[in-house]
Every structure is written in C-alpha cells, then in structure tokens.
Structure 1
Amino acid sequence: MSNNINSNEQFLKSEKNDGKEKVPTSRDSRVKVFAPATVANVVCGFDVLGFAVNEPGDEVEMQLTDTPGVIIKQITGDDGRLPLDAAKNTVSASVQHYLQHINRLDIGVEIKLHKKMPIGSGLGSSSASTVAGLFAINKLMGDLLTPTELVPFAMKGEELACGYGHADNVAPALLGGFVLVRSYDPLDVISLPTPAGMFAAIVYPEVDVPTKDARQMIRSKILLKDAVTQWGNVAGLVSGLFMNDFDLIGRSMKDVLVEPTRSILIPGFEDMRTIAMENGAIGFGISGSGPSVFSLTKDEETAQKITELQQQHLTNLNINSKAFVSSVNAEGPRVL
C-alpha cells in the first residue's frame, strides 16, 4: 500500500485576505464524526486480525480556524483521564501527522472529543478516537486520502497510546468489517468478507487490564508446534469468513500463544467461555488485550442471551460490567 499522496484539486483552497492565506469559513469548515469500537486479534490473529462493531464508539467534533496549530478544546466522558496537551493526545497527534504529510501546517484545527466508550476496555478506545479525528480532518480537506491510506497515521496514535503502532484496531475502525493485516513492513491491509447474520456479544468486566501490561506478559519465544497450530487456525478463520462457514470459523477460534496467559488477568474468563459455548456461540475469546470478552453468534437473540448470562455471572463475582450486542460494522467511521 502506498502512502504517497500527489497534489491535486482536492486540496482545500484558501482565500487571500491582505496578502495572508486564510481558511474559508463555510459549512465545510466544521464536521462531527463517529468511529466504531473494534475487536482486535479475534482469538488466534494476534496483531493481524480485527473487526468493527456498531456499538460502542467515539465522537469527534472538528472545526478549522485561522490560527495555525492543532488544539484539543474539550474532552467529555473520560473522567479527566485523557490529556488536553495536543502533543500527548492520540487524536490531535495523528491529525498533526496528517497535516504535515499534506503540507498544510498553516491550518488551524480545534477538536472536541466525546468518549462514548470505556477507556482501557480492550475495545479499541484510543483507536476509535484517533480514527474519528483522522476521518474528520480528511473530510475537511476534501478526502485527500483513502481510508486505507489513513491507516499509517492512525497507527501513530496507537503508538502514542500503548507504545506499539499496531493496526488490528485502527484498520477495521477505518475500513469497517473484518480486516487482515498481512504485513506491517510494508503495510498491507486486506478487507475480508463478513458472513451474513453474524453478531458479536461483548461483555466488559470493569476491571483494570492496561494494554502495556498485557503485552509484557506475552512470551518472546514459542514452540514450533504451537506456531504451526496458530497458523492453521488463522488460515482456517480467514477461510471460514470467505466460505460463510460458521463451523470452520468456530473450530479456528483457538489461541495457543497469547490467550492462555492473558486470560489469567480476566476474572471468570473460563466460566464465561463455558456460558458462551453452551448457549450457542460460534466462538469466544478476549477482545484486544482485555478485559472485554466477545462471542460470535449466528443471530442477535443468541448474542443477547449470552451477554445476560455472562453479566449475571460477573455480578455473582461482585464485578460490575457493561454489555454490547452488535452486528459487524461494515461502514467504518461516518459523518454525523
């Protein structure tokens, strides 16, 4: 995938006033965008597989101004946890990289971020915010880049958030649906089909599992036989998506490398797996680095039943939780 952008007529035209260029004030100088949460890894696809969901997600309001620079004007819904410093916030930092790439650092940008999803949930919280910001600035600039070409800029936000610029959250958030990251160097992102009728049943136990800590638990060396098993499962899962084969998808949703370690951090994990599989789930696993877990199902009714039973189990453990039932989001971000 090429990230090089040629100059063309889509660049935002500036008006001249007293010899100084100014960003025009028009309906196109302001936009509000929603970007979806995502389920990364999809059990066996560590750092290479992910899919988007319709709920939850984040919203960004963006306005162009005459004063060069990117500022975070307001953040809501974060309980004061996110930085207002533009250099430290994933949204503003990614927008800055974008403007630098298109050589428009003369532009001023004001950002309002509205967190509509839990932070540190394993559902791509930082990814949703970053993607909403990039989609917004790209709209205001006249869609200079395709969603695929925005992925490297979103990866910069992930690098700021968790120290590693992976794409299995940001790519599906930008493109919608299931996404395979075939390669990181060079970056090669592939959209995969979604079987009709597939739903995700997501439960977020309100416990703290920082992404950085979860990544540090992963083994740096693995047995060849485990690698072979994992390769087969990733190939099987991708094949199942193309073949609309729910049984193959379910057989392939097994992780012998990462889940055995990470699941230790999630209270009631094995019991929630049992609940899912005994009540009609295709497969079950950790969303991203956790603590959220997800089940894939063939219909919405099954997904609702699984989330209710899993939440009741967590309540019995004195753990609060949130649940989200959603079909796979095929659209990606959208203008509100």
Structure 2
Amino acid sequence: MSDRKSKFPLGDLGVVKVFAPATVANVVCGFDVLGFAVNEPGDVVEMKLTNTPGVIITKITGDDGRLPMASEKNTVSASVQHYLKHINRLDVGVEIELHKKMPIGSGLGSSSASTVAGLFAINNLMGKLLTAKELVPFAMKGEELACGYGHADNVAPALLGGFVLIRSYDPLDVISLPTPPNMFAAIVYPEVDVPTKDARQMIKSKVLLKDAVTQWGNVAGLVSGLFMQDFELIGRSMKDVLIEPTRSILIPGFDDLRKLAMDHGAIGFGISGSGPSVFALTKDKETADKIVQQQQQHLKNLEINSKAFVSAVNAEGPRIL
C-alpha cells in the first residue's frame, strides 16, 4: 500500500460528515466473534483535510468532557493516523469534530462507532483506497486503545453492517452473515456503570470442556439459524454458559429483564457487549416496542433510569450524511 496515493489532490473534497452505527457484540453465545449493527443510536464525525500535516481533534460534543482531545489518545484520531501511515500519506492534514450521539460505556460499541465513522470519513476523503473489510484492522487499533484489547465484534459489523462472524483473529478472517427479514432489536440501557475493562477482567481464563462444547454448539446453531431464517433455532442457540453468568451480576434485575423479554415474545435475550445494555431479538417492531416499554418500567420501579432503542438490523454500516 505504500505506493498508493489518492487520485484526488488535497483540499478538493472539502468536508465529509459520517454517521456510524452502534453495535451489539457477542450476540449472547459468540464472545468476541459475533456482532450485529443497529440503525440507532450511533456517532457522527465531521472531517476536513488541511495543508498542515497531522491529525487533530478540534471539537467533541456529547461526551460531558470524558473523551481525550489529544490525537494519540482519542480512538478516532489514533485510527486515522494508523490509516494515513499505511497509505504513506503522513503529509496529509486532518481536522476532526466528533459528535457523540450515543451513551459512553453502554455496551453498544460507543468507541467503535466513533472510530468507524472516522475511518470511513478519511477513506472517502482519500479516494476510497481501502474496502470496508480492509479498514477493520485499523478500527481494531481504536478498540485496543479504548479497552486494552483489539477485538472486532463491534467494529466489523459497524463497518460492514448486518451480522458478522470473526472466524479468526490471526490471521483476521471476517465473514458477513445473512439477516432474516423483519428482525428487530429491542435494546435497553440501564444507566449504571459497567466499564468494559472491568467486565473483561471478571471473565475466567479457563473453562470446562463440557461448557466449551455447549458454547460451540450454540454458536454453530445461531449461525445456522441466520442462514436458514429459523427464528426458533436462533432462539435456542442464544444461550451463554461461559460469560453471561458472571457479567449478568453487574446488571440490576437481569433475570427479571430476561423474563419480561421472553414473556412478551422475544426470540432471544442477552447482554449487549460487556453491558450494562441488554437486548432482545424479535420478529417485528411491535414486539420490540412492547418489550422495551415493559423493561423500562421495571427499571423505573427499581429507581434506575434507562434509555431504550428499537431498531431493525442495520444492513449498510456507516454512511455519509
């Protein structure tokens, strides 16, 4: 890639504004290897090329001052720097505005959405030198900066849209999976703090073989169910015997939230990423609406504020606004 240059001279493309979607990682049984994108919420990045080499963050909104402005510490700018180094264009100047439109630390891929929006923006400004799949490793650099581990189960679906399987990390092998028609996600974010790094540290480093076998079967069943458009198989497969029993302890009323979802027609239910957001897959929007209403009322009874999102599975990934 070192000899590939943009076919556009600097400055000709002006400013680009990009939206990138939130994502549900793991999809219950697929820790670090499965995820899907949703239409909302998401983040927005505005990017401008300049004649002064270097990547700078000029503005961040919606983060309550929680995110770093320093270019080497912010996931968006750091990923853009890796991209520019890869295409041998360190002569490029980039100014970035990041507009957080989704909650930080929600388990919905907040850092991923920002990073993906930035990479999609710079790739467009430089003449689309890389495909969406080729951008995944650069987005993983952002995840490594955000939580200490460069996983792809958020960034890959955010870039590619739909359901995504990461078959292997070394070498990286990312596979897009089909989405059954009319599938919706009912997402509820209880406003409690579950940092991703802390949630990862709770996970056991060794598991029983019998539990691993159960998990393999569920991952294979979920992937098969997506291909077969078999909602019952998808639901039977959305069970996690390795991670959820530990992580669910951090989410208030988790078992009750699951019962509400399943009693009101969910295909399956689980934790989104590391939490505290939870999600249910449904066969239609009406069912999803009903589930989030019931779950939010339950959390209100527990004196816990929450946000809810009902969305079809996002098929397109990031888009220019």
Q: Does 1:11 align with 2:15?
A: no
The answer as to 2:286 corresponding to 1:291 is no
Q: CA deviation at 1:274?
A: 0.2
Match of 1:20? none
- 1:162 pairs with 147, 150, 161, which one? 147
Summarize deviations over 1:258-306 as a string: whole Å, max 9, x none.
0000000000100000000000000000000000000000000000000
> After the TM superposition, which residues 33-48 of structure 1 pair with which residues of structure 2 at under 5 Å, given as runs?
33-48=18-33
Match of 1:254? 239
1:305 to 2:290 alignment? yes
Q: What aligned pairs does 1:179-190 form with structure 2 within 5 A after superposition?
A: 179-190=164-175
Name the residue aligned to 2:47.
Answer: 62
In structure 1, what is the equivalent of residue 131 of structure 2? 146
Among 157, 164, 184, the alignment partner of 1:199 is 184
Distance 1:300 1:13, change over 3 A: closer
- What is the rounded CA distance, in whole Å, between the counterparts of 1:115 and 1:268 in structure 2? 28
Partner Cα separation in structure 2 for residue 123 and residue 222 of structure 1: 26
Q: Which amino acid aligns with 1:29?
A: G
Tell me the equivalent position of 2:301: 316
1:178 aligns with 2:163: yes
Letter in 2 for 1:85: A
Partners in 2 of 1:29 and 1:288 — Cα distance? 36
Q: How many residues align?
A: 321
Deviation, structure 1 residue 11: 1.5
Q: Contact (CA 8 Å) 2:45, 2:97: kept in 1 or not?
A: yes
String of CA shifts for 1:191-249, please: whole Å, max 9, x gaps: 00000010000000000000000000000110000000000000000000000000000
Distance in 2 separating the partners of 1:262 and 1:292:
11
Shift of 1:86: 0.4
The amino acid of 1:34's aligned partner reads: F
2:2–2:87 Cα contact (<8 Å) kept? no
> What letter is aligned with 1:272?
L
CA drift of 1:12 comes to 4.0
Larger C-alpha radius of gyration, 1 or 2? 1
Contact 2:2–2:86 under 8 Å retained in 1: no
SS at match of 1:188: strand
Tell me, which stretches of 5 or more residues in structure 1 are unaligned?
A: 15-22
Deviations 1:161-219 (A, max 9, x none): 00000000000000000000000000000000000010000000000000000000000
Question: 1:135 maps to what in 2?
Answer: 120
**Runs of 4+ with >6 A deviation:** none
Structure 2 SS opposite 1:139: helix
Q: Which residue of 1 aligns with 2:267?
A: 282
Deviations 1:94-124 (A, max 9, x none): 0000000000000000000000000000000
TM-superposed CA distance for 1:251, in Å, is 0.1
Q: Measure the CA separation in 1 of the matches of 2:71 and 2:253.
A: 38
Contact 2:185 2:311 in 1 (8 A): yes
The Cα of 1:30 is off from its aligned counterpart by 1.1
CA offset at residue 6 of structure 1? 7.0
| Aligned-residue offset at 1:29 | 2.4
Partner of residue 92, structure 1: 77
Q: Residues of 2 paired with 1:244 and 1:238: CA distance?
A: 10
Letter in 2 for 1:287: S
Over the aligned positions, Cα root-mean-square deviation in angstroms equals 0.8
1:74 & 1:128 partners in 2: Cα distance? 17
Please report the TM-score for the alignment, with normalisation by the length of structure 1.
0.95
**Structure 2 unaligned residues grouped into runs of 5+:** none
> For the Cα contact (< 8 Å) 2:2–2:88, is it kept in 1?
no
* Equivalent residue number for residue 197 of structure 2: 212
* 2-structure distance, mates of 1:38, 1:280: 22
Q: TM-score, normalised by structure 2?
A: 0.99
The answer to whether the 8 Å contact 2:3/2:88 transfers is no
For 1:326 and 1:333, locate their aligned partners in 2 and report how far apart those are by CA, in whole Å: 15
Aligned to 1:224: 209
The match for 1:332 is: 317
